[in-house]
Amino acid sequence: MHSLTKSSPILTPISVLHEELLWRIFMENADFPDDYMRWRINHLQVRPLIVARRCSQVCRRWRYILLSSSSIWRRMIDMDALIYRPETYWKEEVLSRAGQAPLWVYGTMKRCHAPDFLFFIQSNWHRLQALTIFEPFSEPWVLLPQQRQMLWECLKAPAPNLQRIHIQLYDSTTAVPKSYPFFSDHAPVLNEFHILSRPYKFSHTAPWARTISTVTFVKSLFTTEEILQALKYMPQLGHLIVEDRGIPAGDTLEISPIHLPHLKTLTLSTVGLLEATIILKSIVPSPGCCLNVYLAYHSFSTPEFEHYQRASIKHVISYYSLYPPSVLELKFPGKTNCIVLADGALPCGNRERFFIPVFAGVAPDFPNSSPVLQELIQEGNPSHTKELKLDGFLGAAEGARELLTRLSAMNFFSSITTLAITEYILAQLLKRTFFTDEFLPKLSILKILRDESCPRLDCEGYAPYHPFIKRRRTMGLPISVLELHFLPNHDAAYLEEHTGLVVRCICCGGDQPEYRCGDGHPDRLNFATLSEQRLIKPTPLYFFFCQPDSESASP
């Protein structure tokens, strides 16, 4: 088998797609970004306006569908692409195409355009269905006192159509009036509320709080006790986020258990260990609620972290019992004595991904001393995991190797058949014999991941996966598949000695995505040479729509 045999694809003309299907595709292209800050700095992400413009130029039929649907254009009031461009007619054109439909507005609040941005929001406040505003990191404290007052005038007005609001402004000493409640207590369809700015603190007894499904609390605004009290007034809550802005919020008290039967995700971001423990202990988890805990990392004492783990067990088991992960990622945060269990699978649909710190420390009996790991093993959950992912920062390499040794001794990895790892981490772990002798007894697939942050290391002139595969073969535990998720910068004909090993270069285009070692064509493994000869090349990471955002977004 020198290369895969590629069958000719069955081409389906675009013209046969039903109009309703096309319309649904266009609507998905115009979806509101869930995480605008992360979305806007992703250079491979194309703005919906640009996608819509290109789609409208494909054919008359597509253009007709797009131009006749105000529900598509109303979702694309992207202020970064409209108000910050010299072609003012394009903003008017998009608004005209949106008709009188409720608007989705999002963008960054830049100093030079803040007045225009705020005037637009104020003029169309009653039409807003979704609003996202961020201050850029390069221009903190953009809003002048009178402009912050202008924003407050909007926020205190009734919001009959508002469903989602996300405002993140830098803290300001400028006070805003507190005599008026948000939205004059009238936001009948509001279901997502995220305002991350110290001057703006909402009342947890507001009428719209009872129907809210997603909310963010900032610890610089609310004490832990206030957060827990507010949750009692939010029975429909599906997604809870608690963020710590680094300012102590007073003493915390434990209260009676809080039942949130619809809760799907619980995210604690950079919170202190005490606050995390109290929140986790107070909330009764709903079945399958996904836990994400990003601690304010430092070295924790064993007793306080044990309290945290015992508070988190019920949440971990509730999720694991319904959604046992097929891919488990281990993370080793720097400057801490924690490891993190994370969902290593690629995002898929609406499935949530967990992120759970587990205490390691220097306890001689770890991981036997970890209540979370002990409970997972007793429940048999590790048996569902087929892939282990070691990506990113390894922390203290010696400590990581010791930890992996102990987890392996507990049969925590006994069902793993696939290892996804970077060359850098693989080279670090190869310094311990256990990694080839005792680790992952059922391993058959080795994935080498791209990692631009760490240099690629060679072991005596070879890539580190070569001695690893060689050692496993000598032990009678051969690797059957090697997947390279990047285009190697060196020739690897030396892999030919691993007869039967299938090598896949996942990111390579051309007609040879796979080669079986020992078939007599080691030149097919000379990736650097083949790349220089342009016989293989990296597969583009984006599609035809993905072009720089600087391209005109005009119709």
Residue indicated by tokens 């342009």: 534
Would you state the pLDDT for residue 129? 95
- Residue 401 domain-assigned (yes or no): no
Q: What is the band of 320 on the pLDDT scale with cuts at 50, 70, 90?
A: confident
Helix pair angle (224-231, 273-282), 10° resolution = 20
Would you state the pLDDT for residue 395? 60
Domain count, the chain: 3
Same domain, 126 and 226: no
Q: Is the pTM of this model over 0.95?
A: no
Last residue of a domain, one of 99, 134, 169: 99
Distance CA 299, CA 337 (A): 6
Would you state the pLDDT for residue 258? 93
- Where is mean pLDDT largest: 155-169, 252-266, 445-459? 155-169
Is residue 402 over pLDDT 60? yes
- Residue 69 domain-assigned (yes or no): yes
- Residue 540 domain-assigned (yes or no): no
Q: Where are the beta strands (DSSP E) in 197-281?
A: 214-218, 239-243, 258-259, 265-271
How many other C-beta atoms are found inside a 10 Å radius of the C-beta of residue 458?
Answer: 13
- Residue 261 domain-assigned (yes or no): yes
Q: What is the band of 499 on the pLDDT scale with cuts at 50, 70, 90?
A: very high
Phi/psi at 361 (nearest 5 deg)? 60, -155
- In the 8-state DSSP scheme, what is residue 46? P
Give the residue, 502 or 505, on which the prediction is more confident: 502
Q: What is the DSSP string of 513-527?
A: SEEETTSS-GGGGBH
Q: What is the band of 137 on the pLDDT scale with cuts at 50, 70, 90?
A: low
CB of 198 closer than 8 Å to CB of 171: yes
Distance CA 203, CA 406 (A): 49
- In the 8-state DSSP scheme, what is residue 543? -
Q: What is the tens place of the pLDDT at every residue in 339-389?
A: 788 888 766 555 567 888 886 654 556 666 788 888 888 877 778 899 999
The region of weakest confidence among 44-53, 307-316, 394-403 is 394-403
- Residue 485 domain-assigned (yes or no): no
Q: Which of 483, 424, 486 is nearest to 456 (CA)?
A: 424
Same domain, 242 and 291: yes
Distance CA 141, CA 255 (A): 37
Would you state the pLDDT for residue 445? 96
What length does the chain have?
555
Is residue 41 over pLDDT 60? no
Domain that holds residue 237: 213-248+257-381
Would you state the pLDDT for residue 5? 37
Q: What is the tens place of the pLDDT at every residue in 64-101?
A: 888 888 888 888 888 887 766 655 667 788 888 888 88
Give the residue, 232 or 19, on which the prediction is more confident: 232
Whether the upstream peptide bond of residue 367 has omega within 30° of 0, thus cis, is: yes
Residues 6+ apart with CB under 8 A from 532: none
Give the residue, 526 or 248, on which the prediction is more confident: 526
How many other C-beta atoms are found inside a 10 Å radius of the C-beta of residue 144?
Answer: 14
Q: What is the band of 272 on the pLDDT scale with cuts at 50, 70, 90?
A: confident
Helix (H) or strand (E) holding 15: none
Same domain, 107 and 92: no
Residues 6+ apart with CB under 8 A from 510: 535, 536, 537
Helix (H) or strand (E) holding 355: strand 355-359
Would you state the pLDDT for residue 478? 93
State what percent of residues in the chain have pLDDT above 90: 25
Q: What is the tens place of the pLDDT at every residue in 421-438?
A: 988 888 888 877 666 666
The region of weakest confidence among 219-223, 339-343, 461-465, 498-502 is 219-223
Q: What is the band of 171 on the pLDDT scale with cuts at 50, 70, 90?
A: low
Q: Which of 434, 503, 427 is nearest to 460 (CA)?
A: 427
- Residue 313 domain-assigned (yes or no): yes
Would you state the pLDDT for residue 187? 94
- Residue 179 domain-assigned (yes or no): yes
Would you state the pLDDT for residue 349? 52
Residue indicated by tokens 């007599």: 520
Question: By CB neighbour count within 10 A (0-12 exposed, 13-18 middle, 19+ buried), where does 70 fall?
Answer: middle
Would you state the pLDDT for residue 288? 87
Give the residue, 141 or 544, on which the prediction is more confident: 141
Is residue 7 over pLDDT 50? no
Same domain, 52 and 133: no
CB of 176 closer than 8 Å to CB of 147: no
Same domain, 173 and 309: no
Cα-to-chain-centroid distance, residue 266: 14
Distance CA 189, CA 151 (A): 21
